[in-house]
Amino acid sequence: MKAGQQETRAMNGDEAVAYAVKQSDVDVVAAYPITPQTIIVERFSEYVADGKVKTEFVCTESEHSALSACVAASATGARTFTASASAGLALMHEILYVTSGCRAPVVMAIANRALSAPINIHCDHSDSMAERDSSWVQIYVENSQEAYDSIIQAFRIAEHPDLLLPVMVCLDAFFLSHTLENVKVLPDEAVREFVGNRQLPLITNHNGEKVPFKLDPDNPITMGPLDLFDYYFEHKRQQEEAMQKAAQIITETHNAYSQLTGRRYGNGLVDSYRLEDAEIATVCVGSTAGTTKTVVDQLRAKGVKAGLLRLRNFRPLPVRDIKEALENISAIAVMDRSNSFGGYGGPIFHELRHVLYDTSSHPYVVDYIYGLGGRDMPQNIIKGIYKDLMEIVETKSVKEYVQFAGVR
Amino acid sequence: MVATISWKFTAREIAEKPELFTSGHRACAGCGPAIALRQIMKATRGPTIVTNATGCMEVVSTIYPYTAWKVPWIHTAFENAAANASGIEAALKAMKRKRRLKQEKVDVIAFAGDGGTFDIGIQALSGAAERGHDFLYVLYDNEAYMNTGIQRSGGTPHGASTTTSPGGTDIPGKTQMKKPIADIMVAHEIPYVATASIAYWQDLLIKARKGLEAEGPAFLHVFAPCPRGWRYDTSKTIELARLAVETCIFPLWEAIDSEYSLSPQSKIMTLKPERRKDVREYLKMQRRFGHLFKPKFEHVLTDIQKIIDKRWNKLLKKCSMT
Ligand SMILES: Cc1ncc(C[n+]2csc(CCOP(=O)(O)OP(=O)(O)O)c2C)c(N)n1
Ligand code: SF4
Ligand SMILES: [Mg+2]
């Protein structure tokens, strides 16, 4: 299979996600609609109604039940998918931790939307950033093509026997979810082959026998028990150890996929743009990277050594890659599309500065909270941020570490 | 439709069937819910997957690394037993369609307490019932949140003292009534709904089996006294479970395709009214009702009798017994 055999289709981000799910031989989809994720659920319902998939679709009465159904279906041995956003993801909060704690490799698409109140249906990352500690792998995509590609990769990543953790694929509300784009899609068989069958690792049951890790009447096991101070801590450490293996699994999967399609997103964890000799750089996740690349090109044309680091994965945090990419940059601006109220900047800023603290070069790192509730992030604001960085380099001083960009 | 009964569950048959909910769990002595679970697991007909809401039964039966369960079992949270059952059933269906299921048929049972059913779990339950998943939902009703220390629930009866509806100097325990949960489930027009009491084990087993055999959602409301929460001697669990039926505070009935009929243990109360016992006999055995026997609150006893009579008459009408 080569890139040439791919077909180009006009799809928005949500449709691209639904199409990838359709091709990935998913057993159970349980979901509840919420703008701007609805199209995913609607398209998939059509695939079911038209007999294009053998999936069991459970249209639940809430997101809480949707994810609960997914965890149990996954525990029964099914490949499982759901999708949500904003209030829906917040309603799932309790079960997000249950999913990872039960080591259920559920895949979920998030159409990133602002949290209430006030109610707002547009893009920001408050919803998924609030879940960053829930032990889900988080992939943020730049465009609909990457949304399609990442969903397919996500099944293979989540179900990898060394990982067995759920994966969230995050796409920006409306900018991606509802915007038509040319998306190259693989033939069904190629995707089927790539995702393979769900693998079930063997675990030791109460009688000391090796049995498949699933609810199987032939080999009964107990899942989700009461786990107190004598074992809980070890189980949580195992979960962290699995997360630490995720980076390698993600890059391997990304490499295998790009062999098939010819498409790459950096090394799968981070996507660097013109960083090699850069003096100043911005860091962001999601679709803003597209606009930023244009700005970088314009600045480069004027001789400014500007670059961009897009984090494709926020969980696990690609610590080594961030250090390598940014160590030699003099001044860095993080662009956070969510705020940590009362904290010192947004969540990406927290982690990035924290990672760079260990580098001997100690670059300046500042934060710009932008785009809350879907506020546009035009080129001129991004240019302004690079201008601030140039000033920081020149004056060797920072006026304000944390600012809001594009706010009145 | 529910198949007509072809099994009787004799004592011998039950004794010979291996325990699927085994001893060694850490329920209190005289625990009614533990008896319910053990009995119901004797009614299973083949491969079965169980899901359990948070609550006493989950906590006492699975303290890691031990388990009392000989069937595949999963707990995920408090309010979602029915959603879990939906997911398991959906997975089984999909795997069967894709020829990846080894078994011809796997039954799904969800166990939840009254808190997990009347209150926090009712949304998931109603949704799963509406969607028509094929599973048996068992509500083991000990009439309060026992796991967290005897707090009131929508299933706590009128007048009962709990830690969040204490019988005080001014307020005589819970002032509201018990939610008619099984009727609410009948209103969902699911194929099978029944009430049962652990005192009548054969009736309980038969109803559990009918629920499993029903194609679609089945709901079984099992009365299961709790000595800790109700404050009575641990030897009296079955006696109380029987008295609840004999006083008509917890009548036994079933509704097949929404058609109500009284079960023999309650039917007899209409045929031979002299068998019906005074509810005071039931109440006075439990210290959760102790405050009602003080002169100040005696009117509550009258109210309780009124509630029972009203509900009983309503039930008789539904069962075409009037
Ligand atoms: C979302 C949530 N809220 C509250 C709790 C605390 N909690 C655990 S069990 C329980 C009560 C269980 O009551 P019930 O369903 O009647 O079962 P029982 O313990 O009586 O068997 C509560 C309130 C919880 N685990 N999850
Ligand atoms: S508190 Fe009640 S329901 Fe809970 S284990 Fe003890 S007796 Fe059983
Ligand atoms: Mg209870």
Report the helix count and the strand count for chain B, using DSSP H and E. Answer: 12, 8
A1, pLDDT greater than 60: no
Q: Which domain holds residue A370?
A: 270-405
The arithmetic mean of pLDDT across residues B26-40, rounded, is 98
Q: What is the pLDDT of residues A89-132, one digit of tens each?
A: 999 999 999 999 999 999 999 999 999 999 999 999 999 999 99
Please tell me the distance from the alpha carbon of residue B277 to that of residue A376, in angstroms, as a whole number.
Answer: 73
Please tell me the distance from the alpha carbon of residue B194 to that of residue B47, in angstroms, as a whole number.
Answer: 23
Shared-domain flag, residues A76 and A146: yes
Helix axes of B122-131 and B81-97: crossing angle, nearest 10 degrees: 30
| Residue B113, pLDDT score | 98
| Residue B125, pLDDT score | 99
Mean of pLDDT over chain A: 97
The DSSP annotation for A336-384 comes to ESS--TTSSS-HHHHHHHHHHTTSTT--EEEEEEE-GGG----HHHHHH
Shared-domain flag, residues A244 and A344: no
CB of residue B198 inside a 6 A radius of ligand 2: no
**Least CB-CB distance to A28: which of B77, B87, B131?**
B87
Please tell me the distance from the alpha carbon of residue A53 to that of residue A44, in angstroms, as a whole number.
Answer: 9
A162, pLDDT greater than 60: yes
Shared-domain flag, residues A13 and A160: yes
* Token pair of A242 as six digits: 């699995």
Domain CATH for A384:
3.40.50.920
Residue A102 lies inside a defined structural domain of this protein? yes
The arithmetic mean of pLDDT across residues A286-292, rounded, is 98
Residue B6 lies inside a defined structural domain of this protein? no
- Is the bond leading into A325 cis (omega within 30 degrees of zero)? no
Q: Is A301 within 8 Å of chain B by CB?
A: no
| Residue A4, pLDDT score | 58
Shared-domain flag, residues A278 and A194: no
Q: What is the distance in angstroms between the Cα of A61 and the nearest Cα belonging to chain B?
A: 5
The arithmetic mean of pLDDT across residues B288-298, rounded, is 97
Residues A246, A247, A250, A255, CA torsion sign: negative
- Tell me the pairing of strands B253-256 and B218-223: unpaired
Q: What is the pLDDT of residues B112-129, one digit of tens each?
A: 999 999 999 999 999 999
DSSP-derived 3-state class of residue B280: helix
The arithmetic mean of pLDDT across residues A241-264, rounded, is 98
User: CB A343: neighbour CB atoms within 10 A?
Assistant: 11
| Residue A145, pLDDT score | 98
Shared-domain flag, residues A292 and A194: no
- Domains in chain B, number: 1
Mean of pLDDT over chain B: 97
Shared-domain flag, residues A250 and A307: no
The arithmetic mean of pLDDT across residues A201-230, rounded, is 97
Q: Please answer whether residues A105 and A167 qualify as being in contact, where contact means their C-beta atoms are separated by less than 8 angstroms.
A: yes
| Residue B5, pLDDT score | 60
Residue B37 lies inside a defined structural domain of this protein? yes
Closest CA to B140 of B302, B10, B269, B31: B31
CB of residue B144 inside a 6 A radius of ligand 2: no
B286, pLDDT greater than 60: yes
Interface contact flag, B80 A68, Cβ < 8 Å: yes
Shared-domain flag, residues A379 and A281: yes
Give the best residue of B64, B123, B134 to mutate against chain A (max A CB count within 10 A).
B64
Residue B2 lies inside a defined structural domain of this protein? no
B3, pLDDT greater than 80: no
**From its phi and psi, is residue B226 left (phi > 0), alpha (psi between -120 and 50) or beta?**
beta
The DSSP annotation for A19-43 comes to HHHHHTT-SEEEE---TTTHHHHHH
- Please report, rounded to a whole number, the percentage of residues in chain A having pLDDT higher than 90: 98
Q: Which residue of B has its CA nearest to A27?
A: B94
What end-to-end distance do the CA atoms of chain A give, in Å? 51
Interface contact flag, A217 B49, Cβ < 8 Å: yes
| CA dist list (Å): A133 to A127, A129, A158, A347, A356 | 12, 9, 17, 11, 20
Higher pLDDT, A4 or A317: A317
Residue A210 lies inside a defined structural domain of this protein? no
Shared-domain flag, residues A246 and A332: no
Interface contact flag, B90 A28, Cβ < 8 Å: yes
Say how many residues make up chain A: 408
Please tell me the distance from the alpha carbon of residue A369 to that of residue A399, in angstroms, as a whole number.
Answer: 16
Domain CATH for B184:
3.40.50.970
| Residue A2, pLDDT score | 53
CB of residue B52 inside a 6 A radius of ligand 1: no
A368, pLDDT greater than 60: yes
Q: What is the distance in angstroms between the Cα of B103 and the nearest Cα belonging to chain A?
A: 8
Structure confidence at residue B2 as a pLDDT band (50, 70, 90): low
| Residue A228, pLDDT score | 97
Where does chain B show beta strands of DSSP type E? 48-52, 73-74, 107-113, 136-141, 192-197, 218-223, 253-256, 259-262
Give the best residue of B45, B84, B105 to mutate against chain A (max A CB count within 10 A).
B84
Where does B227-270 show beta strands of DSSP type E? 253-256, 259-262
Question: CA Rg, chain B, in Å?
Answer: 19
Q: Please answer whether residues B56 and B142 qualify as being in contact, where contact means their C-beta atoms are separated by less than 8 angstroms.
A: yes
Interface contact flag, B87 A71, Cβ < 8 Å: yes
Q: Is B254 within 8 Å of chain A by CB?
A: no
Domain CATH for A142:
3.40.50.970
Shared-domain flag, residues A55 and A126: yes
Q: How far is CA B63 from the centre of its chain?
A: 23
Residue B5 lies inside a defined structural domain of this protein? no
- Residue A284 pairs in a beta bridge with A310
- Domains in chain A, number: 2
Helix (H) or strand (E) holding A314: strand A313-315
Per-residue burial over B170-191, b if 16 or more Cβ lie within 10 Å, else e, is: eebbbeebbbebbbbbbebebb
Shared-domain flag, residues A248 and A307: no
Question: CA Rg, chain A, in Å?
Answer: 21
Q: What is the pLDDT of residues B139-184, one digit of tens each?
A: 999 999 999 999 999 999 999 999 999 999 999 999 999 999 999 9
Shared-domain flag, residues A243 and A119: yes
Q: What is the pLDDT of residues B43-55, one digit of tens each?
A: 999 999 999 999 9
Residue A47 lies inside a defined structural domain of this protein? yes
DSSP-derived 3-state class of residue A143: coil
Residue A339 lies inside a defined structural domain of this protein? yes
DSSP-derived 3-state class of residue B284: helix
Q: Is A24 within 8 Å of chain B by CB?
A: no
Shared-domain flag, residues A277 and A130: no
Residue B273 lies inside a defined structural domain of this protein? yes
B176 CB contacts (<8 Å, ≥6 apart)?
B158
Please tell me the distance from the alpha carbon of residue B294 to that of residue A17, in angstroms, as a whole number.
Answer: 66
Q: Please answer whether residues B191 and B217 qualify as being in contact, where contact means their C-beta atoms are separated by less than 8 angstroms.
A: yes
Q: Which of residues 357-386 of A touch B (CB under 8 A)?
A: none
CB of residue B227 inside a 6 A radius of ligand 2: yes
Residue A293 lies inside a defined structural domain of this protein? yes
CA of A216 relative to ligand 2 center, distance in Å: 29
Q: Which of residues 204-243 of A touch B (CB under 8 A)?
A: 206, 214-228, 231
| Residue B8, pLDDT score | 83
B3 burial (CB, 10 Å; 0-12 / 13-18 / 19+) is: exposed
* Token pair of B24 as six digits: 């060694």
Closest ligand to C-alpha of residue B111 is 1
Residue B194 has phi, psi (to 5 degrees) of -150, 155
* Token pair of A34 as six digits: 């919420």
Q: What is the distance in angstroms between the Cα of A91 and the nearest Cα belonging to chain B?
A: 12
The arithmetic mean of pLDDT across residues A61-66, rounded, is 98
Structure confidence at residue B7 as a pLDDT band (50, 70, 90): confident
Closest CA to A405 of A332, A335, A342, A341: A335
Residue A84 lies inside a defined structural domain of this protein? yes
Please tell me the distance from the alpha carbon of residue A248 to that of residue B64, in angstroms, as a whole number.
Answer: 31
Residue B290 lies inside a defined structural domain of this protein? yes
Q: Which domain holds residue B129?
A: 11-318
Structure confidence at residue B322 as a pLDDT band (50, 70, 90): confident
Interface contact flag, A223 B106, Cβ < 8 Å: no
